[in-house]
Chains A and B, each alone.
Chain A
Amino acid sequence: MAKKSYRQAIAEALRQEMERDARVIVMGEDVAGGMGAPGEDDAWGGPLGVTKGLMPIFGRDRVLDTPITESAFIGAAAGAAATGLRPVAELMFVDFFGVCFDQIFNQAAKFRYMFGGKAVTPLVVRTMYGAGFRAASQHSQCLYPVFTHIPGLKVVLPSSPYEAKGLLIQAIRDDDPVIFFEHKAMYDEEEEVPDEPYAIPFGEANLTREGDDVTIVAFGRMVGFANQVADKLAKDGISCTVVDPRTTSPLDSDTILECVEETGRLVVVDEAHPRCSMASDIAGLAAQHVFGALKAPIQMVTAPHAPVPFSPSLEDLYIPSPDKIEAAVRKTMAS
């Protein structure tokens, strides 16, 4: 086992699944690069180089550079999935979903239901999300709550390289449309990742820390922040459970509720805007089902209800930080 980056873990999952199953194809804007420019094959590999190296192995028939028309190629991917392939389409930034959402939520997500369970749509949409990249309000959003809202879509938020590889393999093997969210600030994070293929099942939360006082439920990049806070607070005698739900749909509400019952305190950390977010969703879940176990009001740590600012100093303030998470934990401990 070697240390691999989030980027390498994702690339390895793609490569291994393409080797295993000839129906798996990759498509998107510049996923290889150099289309139509002789001598520049595989020049790009997507904006952050995740898919670089796939085209020379699998050829242009399985690594398709598409026009800059999300509506067309996401639609084509949904159609290809419905007719026997297992496409992994790259929606460069999730912020662009507006121009191809019909193909996702009103087509791909509905096939299984509308055709009496006879149609399967093994489509994966890989997409970048999140702030911290100085990419301003149109390239920095955390729009997973929008997708989580749609029945028929599975929504995945890998929180580390190990998680990214296993969850992407599961996504590719899954027969339903999966939206796979990659945080753009995490591509260089490294950890030990097995060389062999492995799948992490959906809908099973991972407890990255186990404690007695507070449950922190965190998503995607926020899991690492929550772990930092838990480790710091452990030295002050506050012991935290950190729950990484891994997937927001399906959601492992059983594990979340069990942890809240055990600790009696809940902090939810969500990089998305606060209204109709995973933070409000988890808070509502706890209030509905384990209200009697709560010893203090639920705390939510989210971005503000505002677009991501371009000013670097404002962007830094915008993102939920370990300091804000720590403050929230201390607040629930104080009451």
Chain B
Amino acid sequence: MAADIKTIVMPKWGLAMQEGMVARWLVAPGAVIKAGEEILDIETSKIANVYESPVAGPLRRTLVAEGETVPVGALLGVVADSDVGDDEIEAFITEFQASFVQQAEAAVGPPEPQMIEADGRRFRYLQIGEADGPPVVFIHGFGGDLNNWQFNQEALAAGRTTYALDLPGHGGSTKEVGAGDVAALADAVTAFLDAQAIDRAHLVGHSLGGAIAAYLALKRGERVASATLIASAGLGAEINMAYIEGFMSAKRRKQLEPVLQLLVADPEMVSREMIEDVLKMKRIDGVEAALQKVIGAVFPGGRQALLLTDLLGDADAPVQVIFGAEDQIVPAGHLAGLPSAVPAHKLSGAGHMVHMEKAAEVNDLISRFIEG
């Protein structure tokens, strides 16, 4: 009897419309509606408008609540005469939804960053993968964001849960950095782990993020399954302040390009989009003040304030260190001071962004270290 059942679906208003929100139902189930009658208010990104019923008859069911956003074509309501049984309507809806859901799933895009509140602060993160066991948590460096792991996170997500987060002061996360030092940022990462209900994680940290991972491995060893420190801060006093200062002062692409080229062995790797993304991040309200605070706390007087090298041999969690041989920001020479118990890897042909420049090798090192 499906022929007697008529549907009301989310209309497509204009080529670009992909979804709409049911703002208000103007009729309730049970009402007999006329074709052309105003039955609900729909809002899209472009427009808010009243929707006129394309069909006539008793409205038997409404499927979408007020305030809910659904894709174009989604079932909003069912109209059928009273001689159609409730069970027939149920069966019809089930069949409709089953075929519609399949379409919707086919259209699912890549994973999108999400937001979570942790200890009163907002964190942006990207989760890829879902599996048992301690997840991998990626912590970017000074001035970076979760996109720095674009060549690593997906590769390491096979059979694992992975998170990349934006540190406070960076990307889409809170611009409140507290004291701005490694300890404060490590507390923020711990708050993120708490908010995600992660007991223990494999930490992968780059540069400043490496110092944070090392700090957590030493101070909160019970939360750390392993720590991979990439081009890490915290292992020696030297830091290229010309880079830090250039990063902060550059307001335009031309000024920023030579600064970002210090990050990599092959300057060609610095793309327009990379430069543009950094400029965009620096323009966001509060970022400059947050980064200045971090600089003052982490690199006071142009030297690294926190040196953890000697302690790493006693860390509860296993720690490994990876450097690019041509690192111009934090010298790869810092590897030399590591305790012999800490595996050290120096990859040639790579600079400070060794995890992007030699992604396959770095991913392999991380993967094997995690598997123990």
Which A residues form the contact surface with B (CB < 8 A)?
Answer: 1, 4-5, 7-8, 49, 52, 162, 166, 187-188, 190, 194-201, 204, 207, 210
Least CB distance from A306 to B in Å reads 31
Q: Which chain B residue has the least Cβ–Cβ distance from A166? A: B283
CA–CA, A195 and B175, complex, Å: 13
Main secondary structure of the interface of A (DSSP, over half): loop
Least CB distance from A19 to B in Å reads 12
Q: B283 and A198: CB pair below 8 A?
A: yes
Using known A-B contacts A5-B45, A188-B14, A188-B46, determine if residue A200 contacts B283 with beta carbons closer than 8 Å.
yes
CA–CA, A290 and B109, complex, Å: 48
CA–CA, A204 and B272, complex, Å: 17
CA–CA, A130 and B228, complex, Å: 55
Least CB distance from B273 to A in Å reads 11
Least CB distance from B167 to A in Å reads 15
Q: Count chain A CB atoms within 10 A of each CB in B14, B48, B113, B251 and give the residue with the most.
A: B48
A selection of 5 A-B contacts at a CB cut-off of 8 Å is A1-B113, A1-B172, A194-B284, A204-B252, A207-B253
Q: Does B47 contact A (CB under 8 A)?
A: yes
A-B pairs with lowest CB-CB distance, top 8: A198-B283, A198-B284, A197-B285, A196-B284, A5-B45, A188-B46, A188-B16, A8-B45
Q: Does B12 contact A (CB under 8 A)?
A: no
Q: Which chain A residue has the least Cβ–Cβ distance from B272? A: A210
CA–CA, A145 and B113, complex, Å: 42
Residue from A166, A187, A194, A201 in contact with B251 in the complex, judged by beta carbons closer than 8 Å:
A201
Least CB distance from B251 to A in Å reads 7
Q: Does B280 contact A (CB under 8 A)?
A: yes
Q: Which chain B residue has the least Cβ–Cβ distance from A209? A: B272
Using known A-B contacts A1-B172, A200-B283, determine if residue A49 contacts B113 with beta carbons closer than 8 Å.
no
Which residues of the partner chain A approach B14 to less than 8 Å between Cβ atoms? 188
Which residues of the partner chain A approach B253 to less than 8 Å between Cβ atoms? 207
Chain B residue total in the interface (Cβ 8 A): 18
CA–CA, A49 and B252, complex, Å: 34
Which residues of the partner chain A approach B47 to less than 8 Å between Cβ atoms? 49
CA–CA, A198 and B283, complex, Å: 5
What would 7 more interface pairs be, CB under 8 Å, given A196-B285, A198-B285, A199-B283?
A: A188-B14, A194-B172, A194-B280, A196-B172, A196-B284, A198-B280, A199-B285
Contact mask for chain B residues 26-54; partner A; CB cutoff 8 A; 1 contact, 0 none: 00000000000000000001111000000
Using known A-B contacts A188-B14, A207-B253, determine if residue A197 contacts B46 with beta carbons closer than 8 Å.
no
CA–CA, A197 and B280, complex, Å: 11
Least CB distance from B19 to A in Å reads 12
CA–CA, A204 and B283, complex, Å: 13
CA–CA, A52 and B43, complex, Å: 12
Q: A52 and B48: CB pair below 8 A?
A: yes
CA–CA, A1 and B47, complex, Å: 21
Q: Which chain B residue has the least Cβ–Cβ distance from A201? A: B251
Using known A-B contacts A5-B45, A52-B48, determine if residue A197 contacts B252 with beta carbons closer than 8 Å.
no
Which residues of the partner chain A approach B272 to less than 8 Å between Cβ atoms? 210
Which residues of the partner chain A approach B284 to less than 8 Å between Cβ atoms? 194, 196-198
Least CB distance from B13 to A in Å reads 11
Residue from B16, B48, B285 in contact with A190 in the complex, judged by beta carbons closer than 8 Å:
B16
Which residues of the partner chain B approach A4 to less than 8 Å between Cβ atoms? 45
CA–CA, A7 and B48, complex, Å: 13
CA–CA, A319 and B284, complex, Å: 35
CA–CA, A5 and B280, complex, Å: 18
Q: Count chain B CB atoms within 10 A of each CB in A7, A187, A198 and give the residue with the most.
A: A198
Q: Which chain B residue has the least Cβ–Cβ distance from A192? A: B280
Least CB distance from B21 to A in Å reads 13
CA–CA, A4 and B16, complex, Å: 12
Which residues of the partner chain B approach A49 to less than 8 Å between Cβ atoms? 46-48
CA–CA, A188 and B14, complex, Å: 10
CA–CA, A224 and B245, complex, Å: 34
Least CB distance from B253 to A in Å reads 6
Which B170-189 residues sit within 8 Å CB-CB of chain A?
172, 175
Which residues of the partner chain B approach A166 to less than 8 Å between Cβ atoms? 283
Which B111-145 residues sit within 8 Å CB-CB of chain A?
113
Least CB distance from A198 to B in Å reads 4
Q: Which chain B residue has the least Cβ–Cβ distance from A169? A: B285
Least CB distance from B236 to A in Å reads 34
Which residues of the partner chain A approach B283 to less than 8 Å between Cβ atoms? 166, 198-200
Q: Count chain B CB atoms within 10 A of each CB in A8, A190, A196 and give the residue with the most.
A: A196
Which residues of the partner chain B approach A188 to less than 8 Å between Cβ atoms? 14, 16, 46
CA–CA, A92 and B57, complex, Å: 43
Q: B46 and A7: CB pair below 8 A?
A: yes
Least CB distance from B114 to A in Å reads 11
Using known A-B contacts A8-B45, A194-B280, A194-B284, determine if residue A204 contacts B251 with beta carbons closer than 8 Å.
yes
Least CB distance from A46 to B in Å reads 13
Which residues of the partner chain A approach B48 to less than 8 Å between Cβ atoms? 49, 52
Least CB distance from A190 to B in Å reads 7
CA–CA, A261 and B231, complex, Å: 40
CA–CA, A6 and B45, complex, Å: 10
CA–CA, A187 and B113, complex, Å: 26
CA–CA, A200 and B14, complex, Å: 31
Using known A-B contacts A188-B16, A198-B280, determine if residue A5 contacts B251 with beta carbons closer than 8 Å.
no
Contact mask for chain B residues 151-182; partner A; CB cutoff 8 A; 1 contact, 0 none: 00000000000000000000010010000000
